Structure 1
Amino acid sequence: MSYPSLKITFLGTGTSSGVPMIACDCPVCQSPDKKDKRLRSSILVQSANTTLAVDAGPDFRYQMLRANVKHLDAIVFTHPHKDHVAGLDDVRAFNFFSQQPMKVFANEMTQEVIIREFPYAFYETRYPGLPEIQLTTIDLTPFMVGDILVTPVQVWHLKMPVMGFRFGKFTYITDANNIEPAEKDKIRGSEVLVLNTLRKEKHISHYSLSEGIAVAQELAIPQTYFTHLSHQMGKHADVETELPEGINLGWDGLVLNL
């Protein structure tokens, strides 16, 4: 199967508290290395004709400014946790310049939270300046955003189902600690995998570093990047020396052309 060329930008690679974490004096949070500065996890996916974001967390406004995003066709959501949905109000700027509602793709569970968190966006009586959002319900059926085919991959965040997504040769998985065999089959054949690994120690609902490495090696992905990293993982430069070939930590601002 042929896929359109895609540009992937890592908008954020940090966990829910970000790195540095507020009030923390640990060596990672105090590191001067730019790769140890991590906004909440999100990516930008761009073809020649379409631009979409995966998730819109608390740092969404700054991420759009930092990446110089002038037009956004859609936001595709993985799940309803605050660090993935809290910035949705800032689509108002895109509404203003495009004079179009923002297309939002999310499962029913995530939509319920979006409507509860941003009820004013769905009032029947409108007034100027409200965010305009067009909700589309997704399940495990592949769908199109412009000319980009999106294939959902269901993963488990402890007991919460979370949507990962495959875009051609690239697969993005965040907030997971278990992937069932049938869903792993959707990932196989990817050239690049992005996978959450919170820290080196085992966690109740995120992959640890060793668990993430095991998943990448099991699926035989040529290049894997880890995301959703906490300050507990350690400094970027130090952890990089411990990783097998073809596996690296992601960092904010990393750009892939596939």
Structure 2
Amino acid sequence: MSQNAHSLLLFFEGEQNYRTCLKILRLLEEADSEEARDLGEEWGVDLAAEWDGEWFNQSVAPAHTFIRLNYETATRYELPLELLQQLFEAGLKTACLEIFYDQVGEFAQFFFTEGELVAPDVMFGKQAGLADIVEQEFECDLGNEARHGYQLPATITQLIRQREENEARGKEMLEAMMSLGVASRQTGAHPLELARSALVLRAVGKGLLQAIVFGVLTVLLFKGLWLWVGLTVVLLVLLPLLYVSKVAAVFKDDTDDVGEEALC
């Protein structure tokens, strides 16, 4: 089974935070999750949740100025955003993360400072000597890693919100597909036809709504009542037709592609 390998470097403000984090990690290594949770609760960081829940094959390697944490996860898992947010609130200064994606055989690197995901140049410009540590600790040379696709800079809060929105859209799409399948079985209609009908209705509604909003705003804000009323009537016809034509074009392209594949 494919899995991702993670190497996380944690740099703390103050020796006490370093020692507290290391103590919790040592307790987790010794499978003393209860004491680790109690200490983590006092510190405000729930390391045990990730350690016991999502990570496996964990190892801890403390260095003089940082803690290296290695772990593996399922391929669906990527960034421990909630944990990093807690760590920054507790006194984390910098975090550097390298992920090896086993399915594609590529590395990606992530650099966090002051609660933000930033470009490596920004990170290394603020902290002298950090680039040398990263070069030594990470397997992939700086600049040779794959692009991770996140917009920079981005706060951890923004990344969490973006992930939640993506998950909500994915769930909504899944529910829509399931509803479409149920409707298809009940009516005997092809799922593609049902999807097209739903999108056409949505396009009509979108066009009507935009035209009505335009009409209300222009009548209230500008002079020339009948001019704006007339223009609104035109838009009530044109906008739904425009959006419906776009839907029809998409389905026509899909139908043509299917036909070409059948001929091949």
Ranked by relative contact order (alpha carbons within 8 Å, sequence separation 6 or more), the top structure is 1
Q: Structure 1 length as normaliser, TM-score?
A: 0.27
Quick check: which one's helix share is greater?
2
Bigger radius of gyration: 2
TM-score normalised by the chain length of structure 2: 0.26
More strand as a share of residues = 1
